Amino acid sequence: DVTDLGSTEQLAATTIEEFGRVDSLINNAAFYLQVTRGPFEELPPEEWDLCMAVNVKGAWLCSRAVSPIMKKQSHGTILNIASMTVNDGTPGFLHYVASKSAIWGLTRSMARELGPFGIRVNTLTPDYIPHDKEYDAKQPEVNKAIISRRCLSRTQEPEDLVGTMLYLVSDLSEFTTGQNIWVNGGSAFH
């Protein structure tokens, strides 16, 4: 449970027991599929809280749990996963968009705080990836619309993130921190 301090501390302790070190953390847990879509005035407050707890607090707690280990190692990477909904300002989805906006800020501040310890913190921001058949069947027009605005006109697959993810957690990106890397097939540019 990424929203629970004890669970995240246990995650770090178990990793140390098993592997003796923590080289990378990828914060990818998200409350997404079950979110209410609609005008922001109609979003249930308890759902807002859950979205922020999983998407923002979860990334913070997991990072908090591994940072002492990474500080002792004088090395480590934290990779936070955001969403192109932030750039797009996707309507009817305010709590999710706001939570992923917070990830951009979380990354930048943590990069400043952890940089002196040799720890790099970055964000990977993918575009829409239709990965849940039931969810995607409810809105088939979304993927088509997004494909139409991409330079690379096809559906984004989870595998499209692998190369960039490996770069960001490896020593190949040794001098890259505080950055937000978009992997979106050219649907938008910085």
- Which residues participate in catalysis according to the annotation? 96
> What six digits make up the tokens of 97?
């968009």
In three-state secondary structure terms, 54 is helix
> What six digits make up the tokens of 3?
């929203």
Burial class (CB in 10 A: 0-12, 13-18, 19+), 20: exposed
Radius of gyration of the chain (CA): 17
Q: Say how far apart CA 159 and CA 165 lie, in whole Å.
A: 10
Q: Say how far apart CA 108 and CA 104 lie, in whole Å.
A: 7
**What residue spans of the chain are helical by DSSP H?**
5-19, 45-52, 58-73, 85-88, 94-114, 133-137, 140-148, 162-169
